[in-house]
Amino acid sequence: MSRERDRVGVVATGPTQWETPFFRHLRTHSALDPYVFYGSRLGLGDEVESESGIRVHFDLPELLEGHDYAFVGPGENPIDAFERVHGARPLDAMVVEGHVGRLQRAALAWTRRRRVPAIYRSDSTLLYRMPAWKKVAKRMLLPLFFRRFPTFLPLSTPAADYLRHYGVGADRIFVSPYMLDHDWYAAEAARWRASSRALRVELALDRFDHVVLAILRFEDRENPLEFLRAAASLKGSRPGLGFVLIGDGRRASTVREFVEREHLDQVVLPGYLPLSSLPRYYAVADVFVHPAVEECWGLSVNEAMASSVPVVVSTGVGCRFDLLPSSEFGLVYPLGNGKALVEAILALVDDPERARAVAARAKERVAGYGYALAAESFERAVRRARRAPGSATGTEAT
């Protein structure tokens, strides 16, 4: 006899254009019934993102449709919100994204008191440098902290390695990677590509033979100047090669000053664009570049791969471990090596047959990193968590 679907709380920083549609997928295509507690409305109004200084606006009107949710703002008591939802229909588990925020800390306290299993979801990795004191502190504290979670939902293979490094057993780890609605990107890029000649004129890119695209926050971590230095090194030898840098941020003046100082007429800066505008640029791009210094994943790489654009990423981009296991799926260059970046770009621009083959294999690979894989991991993590000792919901799934 089948039982009622598991009611799963999810504590998220705020709605996003990649994860919120996934909650709708969980509701309609899985054994789980999610209730999401959002701690922010960033992207839904006119707020400025603190990290980048960008005024973010999501232009997907249906973003919040199809799943149960509540906003728990700074003036609201998270415990009251959890109790209200739990009282209406008990939560079988709670997925907590990180542990730093006020909402996350409250969720950890509430789940312990209510004996609702908490499932930890994070993208922390060992890929980047940290001070020695922080390494020592983490080595001492994280194994103890992680004991309170029966299961984990890391967002990448490196994030799973991070958990294992701090003593989490492999049987408690269920990788649920960053994902997108890849079918939407593929369809939109194909639709715009059908009229690419007119689109190039509309976007003022018809003067270029080839287009290299990057979508970045203008901040040191995402490394826009490395992309621009590649453009500068090719401006004399490849006048028909255009570079489009979409984005904005606190280093916007530095970006513009570099373009002006180097007389980079082949660089186009459209500014920050909403998601619905991006497929037009993927449709005309010949190569996509992500040069980040530290990027735990890099969702724009998923977007490009789904849009059939061959990608070049730096060794600072974490998704390469999952999405680009070899050069058959995209090219990886050593961070900071401008010569290697230029060579990788030209390797694809100058060999259209290779570029098409790489793009086709990449599109096929990224399709496997979608909602279905993530939902399966969520289901397995919840089933295991509900069987954990001490859980008030501890009944084995059938």
Domains of the chain listed by start with CATH number: 6-179+370-386 (3.40.50.2000), 182-367 (3.40.50.2000)
pLDDT by 10s per residue, the chain, length 398 = 345 799 999 999 999 989 999 999 999 999 999 999 999 987 777 676 666 677 777 777 788 999 999 999 888 999 999 999 999 999 999 999 998 889 999 999 999 999 999 999 999 999 988 899 999 999 999 999 999 999 999 999 999 999 999 999 999 999 999 999 999 999 999 999 999 999 999 999 999 999 999 999 999 999 999 999 999 999 999 999 999 999 999 999 999 999 999 999 999 999 999 999 999 999 999 999 999 999 999 999 999 999 999 999 999 999 999 999 999 999 999 999 999 999 999 999 999 999 999 999 999 999 999 999 999 999 999 999 999 876 665 544 33
Q: Report the C-alpha gap between 41 and 156 in whole angstroms.
A: 26
In terms of DSSP H, where are the helices of the chain? 20-29, 78-88, 102-114, 132-146, 157-165, 182-193, 196-202, 224-234, 252-261, 278-284, 299-306, 320-323, 338-349, 352-367, 371-386
List the structure tokens of 118.
Answer: 């908490």
Cα–Cα distance, 153 to 147 (Å, whole number): 14
309 SS3 class: coil
* Separation CA 240–CA 262 (nearest Å): 17
* Strand (E) or helix (H) holding 11: strand 6-12
